[in-house]
Structure 1
Amino acid sequence: MQIVELILLAAIWGASFLFMRIGAPEFGPIALIFLRVGIATLVLLPVVRSKVARQQLRSRAWPLLVVGVFGSAIPFCLFAYSTLYINAGFDSILNATTPLWTALIAMIWLKIPLDRSQVLGLLVGLVGVIILVWDKIGDGLPEVWLAIGAVLLATLSYGFAANYSKQRLAGIPPFVVALGSQFFATVVLLPFALFYWPAGSISLSAWSALLALGVVCTGFAFVIYFRLIENVSAAYATSVTFLIPIFGVLWGALFLSEAVSLNMIVGSVVILLGTALGSGKVKFSSVRVSGP
């Protein structure tokens, strides 16, 4: 049953890039994400029926604000911006660099040493990113490079949020973290969303994409994700990272007719290999498990 939930979660989160690509041009990145996290907050609102949950939300308001900003508000907006210039499949592949940043930040900030296999994974992941963006060099479009930079900054923000959450929100139930982070992301984005609110009419397809983002890709997906953490383990739940690019590329090709280049395939494989090594999920038998 858990493997079915894991695949379903990957399919849902892979589709989020598709929905952002549909919704961002009409809503604009900031308004789209404000509505996304706002809808997700409503979906997760039943959590506050518990008195204990309400107390935890109040007592950990500041850490939840930080996680909401760096784990949702900033990276979601950066991803939405990137979908204006690069395709959904490309975005989903770059998203797989998140565990690499998480490991690197843990080493620098928390002084958690990386073994040789993990260091190799960081280098392999970097090579994968270079391969992936190589065919963009000839485009000469600064918007494309800004979009790629936005995605990498978003995954860096995810990495920081993951480490910060582990340090400051240990022992807090995952559903409380989910609700609190989405609520504070909504509050922080509100003034920016009002300023950048779309002036034109919004099509039915864009509204549908927004609802799918908020209800399915955020609210419902969090429920599945935290069920996996509770019923299996956090390591098992985060392994969804390896499956998301498959669905991101698949949905983009099927529904948006996005081209799948050789660079995307090779870059994806190399990035996923680097991620597997960098996150410690795969080790070469010839590599000693010791400090670099």
Structure 2
Amino acid sequence: MSPLRAAGPKEWALLGVLAATWGTAFAFISFALDAAPPGALAFARLALAAIMLTVWAYAIGEKLPGFKDKRWLWFIALGLFGNALPFTLIPWGQQFIPSAVAGILLAFMPLMTVAMAHVFTDEKMTKITTLGFGVGFAGVVVLIGPAALGGLVAGDFVAQLAVLGAALSFAMNVVIARRAPPMHPLVSAAGMLVLAAVWTAPYGLLDLIHHARPNAAGWAAALWLAIGPTALGSVIYMRLVTTAGAGFLSTTNYIVPVVALGAGLVLGEAIGLSAPLGLVIILVGIVIARRGQRAASRSGQT
């Protein structure tokens, strides 16, 4: 039985919560930027989430590994690529582009994961997955617009490249996570966030000291980013991977950018026709690539 068919009401409910928290995170980032610049926001979000998950882990009898444990080497990489880099690049980019556009650009992440896996693992791209990657890339070009073709270095173009850099970082994190040693999901999430907070501390603390602003709504949004998309999202993610499988969890790739687009429209962001059109093309690319992956998996079975 496939993971998707095995998923019950609880798994679907958790998937809905995960998609809602991740999809609306871009809108909350827009509010949080009124209180703190990108570096400060990334550090505050990651540090608070790390504290919460570490306390939670110890409360249920789980402990972080000793400092000499080699798992910390994995936490260093996972914290950098899965949290520190993208959580800094995304809010930096959102200073110049709408939250909906940021969410749609990140939809390209699963296609980047396919390409990264082709380079660093034995999961090679087939003709169909390559076609899916090409279609998805065309969607990104449509979304970004003429600047992508003309090579212009306008502020919004660089911001969109920063968000694409975050998508690439997330993709690299998926490849690293596949090779990480098995451990309790809460321990791996807590360890990853602890190291992510360490990565962002040098510039994040400086930003907090010199550039933080007393904006109540902004700090409330930052607090929710730590509790919801970061801490709670990490735990739900790890749970669904182990109970329903990665195939079921990948459904979020279709839901999150749609939620981000809807949240942006609710906020009254100026979103042109290129945003929904680019989203549709990217999602079509994901569908094609996933079919290629499933076909390759079936042909590889004995």
TM-score by length of 1: 0.89
CA distance in 2, matches of 1:16, 1:189: 19
Provide the alpha-carbon RMSD of the alignment.
2.3
Name the structure 2 match of 1:64: 75
Question: Residue 33 of structure 2 aligns to a residue in which SS?
Answer: helix
Distance 1:58 1:10, change over 3 A: farther
TM-superposed deviation, 1:37: 0.6
Can you list the C-alpha shifts for 1:50-94, whole angstroms capped at 9, x where unaligned?
666433775200111111011100011000101100011101001
Match 1:42 to one of 35, 48, 51: 51
Structure 1 segment 147-158 matched on structure 2, within 5 A:
147-158=159-170
TM-superposed deviation, 1:141: 6.8
Is 1:234 aligned to residue 224 of structure 2?
Answer: no
AA at the equivalent of 2:240:
L
Name the structure 2 match of 1:15: 24
CA distance in 2, matches of 1:75, 1:174: 21
Can you list the C-alpha shifts for 1:221-246, whole angstroms capped at 9, x where unaligned?
12222221222112211321110011
CA contact (8 A) 1:99 1:278 kept: no
CA contact (8 A) 1:9 1:225 kept: yes
CA contact (8 A) 2:32 2:222 kept: yes
Name the structure 2 match of 1:76: 87
TM-superposed deviation, 1:165: 1.6
Distance 1:238 1:173, change over 3 A: farther
AA at the equivalent of 2:65:
Q
Question: Residue 27 of structure 1 aligns to a residue in which SS?
Answer: coil
Name the structure 1 match of 2:4: none
AA at the equivalent of 1:71:
G
The runs of at least 4 consecutive aligned structure 1 residues that moved more than 4 Å come to 49-52, 135-138, 280-284
Match 1:55 to one of 47, 65, 70: 65
Distance 1:132 1:289, change over 3 A: farther
Match 2:102 to one of 79, 91, 100: 91
Gaps of 5+ in 1: none
Gaps of 5+ in 2: 1-8
Distance 1:157 1:199, change over 3 A: closer
Distance 1:58 1:206, change over 3 A: farther
Structure 1 segment 157-236 matched on structure 2, within 5 A:
157-167=169-179, 169-197=180-208, 198-199=210-211, 201-236=213-248
CA contact (8 A) 1:87 1:252 kept: yes
TM-superposed deviation, 1:5: 1.8
AA at the equivalent of 2:43:
F
Name the structure 1 match of 2:3: none
CA distance in 2, matches of 1:49, 1:276: 41
TM-score by length of 2: 0.87
CA contact (8 A) 1:100 1:279 kept: no
Question: Residue 178 of structure 2 aligns to a residue in which SS?
Answer: helix
Distance 1:57 1:235, change over 3 A: farther
Can you list the C-alpha shifts for 1:138-182, whole angstroms capped at 9, x where unaligned?
9x7721111011011111111111101211x13122222211111
CA contact (8 A) 1:277 1:283 kept: no
CA distance in 1, matches of 2:62, 2:218: 38
Distance 1:52 1:209, change over 3 A: closer
CA contact (8 A) 2:134 2:285 kept: yes
TM-superposed deviation, 1:4: 2.2
Match 1:265 to one of 276, 287, 294: 276
CA distance in 2, matches of 1:289, 1:223: 34
CA distance in 2, matches of 1:72, 1:52: 22
Question: Residue 250 of structure 2 aligns to a residue in which SS?
Answer: helix
